[in-house]
Amino acid sequence: MVKICCIGAGYVGGPTMAVIALKCPESEVVVVDICASRIDAWNRDKLPIYEPGLDDVVKACRGRNLFFSTDIEKHVADAEILFLSVNTPTKTSGLGAGKAADLTFWEKAARMIADVSNSDKIVVEKSTVPVKTAEAIEKILNHNNNGVKYQVLSNPEFLSEGTAIEDLLYPERVLIGGRETPEGQKAVQTLKDIYARWVPDDLIITTNLWSAELSKLASNAFQAQRVSSINAMSALCEATGASVSEVAYAIGMDSRIGPKFLNSSVGFGGSCFQKDILNLVYICECNGLPEVANYWKQVIKINDYQKRRFLNRVISSMFNTVSGKKIAILGFAFKKDTADTRESASIFVSQGLLREKANISIYDPKVTEDQIQYDLATNKLDWDNQVPQQPMSPTARKQVTVMWDPYEATKGAHGVCILTEWDEFKDLDYKKIYDGMQKPAFMFDGRNMVDPVKLREIGFIVYSIGRPLDPWLLDMPAVA
């Protein structure tokens, strides 16, 4: 039996430990967190995060060999393997603000481990960190070791929200990085043996520490680069009358390119892509590589451009003003099958509409009203200009309503914005929605979810990203 403890009960720690507990029933797996309300939620039927399949895995193991606790020091002291899955947000002030990862929580966790440990441990980096973070952790642990020996490994996660359980059960690869010493390689083998319970040996990759840390940043950067590439093409498609869907299909047939991450949209969001690319930019700048840093910066700039372009298209299409008009927002999560709203394009578009004095009605099947109001009111740092963006004013709060029915959200609206690709949006009764809207009725499809031809037959004026423009819009260019 191996005793495993994970520090951090968030989107990575909770699901990962649940699957390890499921596949290693003889091991004891404990997830700890300083947030008592989050741990309470993990111990109830309604879990703190939504992820398809997660409920079944947790219920199968919880109370048997999977436990959730706030008694952090006890379980850290007892564990043989410690996973660190704490938050690494982008710094909002000080050196590297807007780009560098804030490792405050990591350092606190490392110091706590050193304080309470009385037996040798394997410490595993699980969440995304800058290159050389393992070295910093080693220094903290070894300068406060009290005779305890530590081996630090990098085991980055490659999960996609909405498919995290599937990604954990059937991973494309598991990456483990460790020191190239006998002790380091023994620790790598110990962790490899855990994953080998359900992952084929040829899918478990072992590297040195720095390669593992950089591979995670590089993976997210390359995926985001593809999204920004096709979004850049979408602007050109609109200008020339081409269809980005047809272009994406044609280039995706090339086996050297492939079809994945070629769906044009209002822009990528989530906790990883922007944060990790900005971290990569900062690392490049610190290592005297400004050309490389500027290359990766452009991926984020295109993403910001795409969101501005969509917002400006909405405003310019509706006679260049949305003041006093009702705009329905369908989808607030950054992608389907999750309640995560971090860096969601819906936040940017909603805040922009509120600044233009629109009234917005928001529907999302999973995101709570409290989360929506929090996101719209949060003061966020502009990564490129290092100045705080304007949050929602107290007056603007009165311009926001959150509905739990898409038809109620769209009733009386002048325009509808589809901003999350929830499957249910494909099957809505758009004739019913049209009949309940002000005329002319506008449909702004930020995810290319609906058939623009059918909606135009109903009577909508339709804007779909990267597709030939509605005649109404031809003389109304969106300037971003």
Binding-site residues for NAD(+): 8-13, 33, 38, 86-90, 127-128, 161, 272-275, 342
- At residue 178, what is the residue type? G
Q: Cα–Cα distance between 334 and 267 in angstroms, integer?
A: 9
SS3 content of the chain, % helix, strand, coil (to 5): 45, 15, 40
Annotated binding site: 8-13, 33, 38, 86-90, 127-128, 161, 272-275, 342
Q: Cα–Cα distance between 380 and 136 in angstroms, integer?
A: 28
Considering the candidates 61, 272, 284, 417, report the single residue annotated as catalytic.
Answer: 272
Candidates 444, 449, 391; CA nearest to 413 is 444
Our answer to whether residue 272 is catalytic in this structure is yes
- The torsion angles phi and psi of 34, rounded to 5 degrees, stand at -75, -15
Strand partners, 326: 359
- Residue in this structure with the two tokens 């400006």, named with its chain if needed: 312
Provide the 8-state DSSP code for 388.
Answer: B
Q: Cα–Cα distance between 22 and 25 in angstroms, integer?
A: 6
Q: Cα–Cα distance between 159 and 10 in angstroms, integer?
A: 13
Provide the 8-state DSSP code for 91.
Answer: P
Candidates 151, 249, 241, 130; CA nearest to 473 is 241
Q: Cα–Cα distance between 248 and 145 in angstroms, integer?
A: 54
Query: If you count DSSP H runs as helices and E runs as strands, how many of each does the chain have, helices first?
Result: 18, 14
Q: Which residues are catalytic?
A: 272
